[in-house]
């Protein structure tokens, strides 16, 4: 069974830039997987940041961007702020109606 991989944790300084990635245990992520990214703070519902690889959801600041970097989908936060400290999840569409989340990345801003 294919596993979607993410860094368990990451740290960034305020104002800094960080890139989180989303890969596959076997194979490369492409736009055909329609990678999407979600932000979640403790006790809250997820919030959609990015869909279809690189499209920002309504109301999402432009310091959040999505891309394909090499064999992985990537979420880049430019100019990190304190309230960006959250869990970030990617979702990949495997086809035939099935989607799989990555394990999530806990981002610390300090």
Cβ closest to other proteins, residue 45 vs residue 110? 45
Query: Applying CB under 8 A, which of residues 5, 19, 30, 40 lies at the interface with other proteins?
Result: 40
Which of the stretches 10-18, 20-28, 66-74, 84-92 binds other proteins when contact is defined by CB under 8 A? 84-92
Name which of 86, 96, 102, 91 is nearest 10 in CA terms.
Answer: 86
102 contacts 6 by C-beta, under 8 angstroms: yes
Token couple for 36: 């999407």
C-beta atoms surrounding 102 within 10 Å: 24
Binding site for other proteins (CB under 8 A): 1, 33-34, 36, 38, 40, 45-48, 51-52, 57-58, 87, 89, 91-93, 96-104
């Amino acid at each position: 069974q294919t596993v979607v991989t993410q860094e368990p944790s990451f740290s960034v300084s305020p104002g800094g830039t960080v890139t989180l990635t989303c890969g596959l245990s076997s194979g490369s992520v492409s736009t055909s997987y329609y990678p999407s990214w979600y932000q979640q703070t403790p006790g809250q519902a997820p919030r959609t940041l990015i869909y279809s690889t690189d499209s920002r959801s309504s109301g999402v600041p432009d310091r959040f961007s999505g891309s394909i970097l090499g064999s992985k989908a990537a979420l880049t936060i430019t100019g990190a702020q304190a309230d960006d400290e959250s869990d970030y999840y990617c979702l990949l569409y495997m086809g035939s109606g099935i989607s799989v989340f990555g394990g999530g990345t806990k981002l610390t801003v300090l």
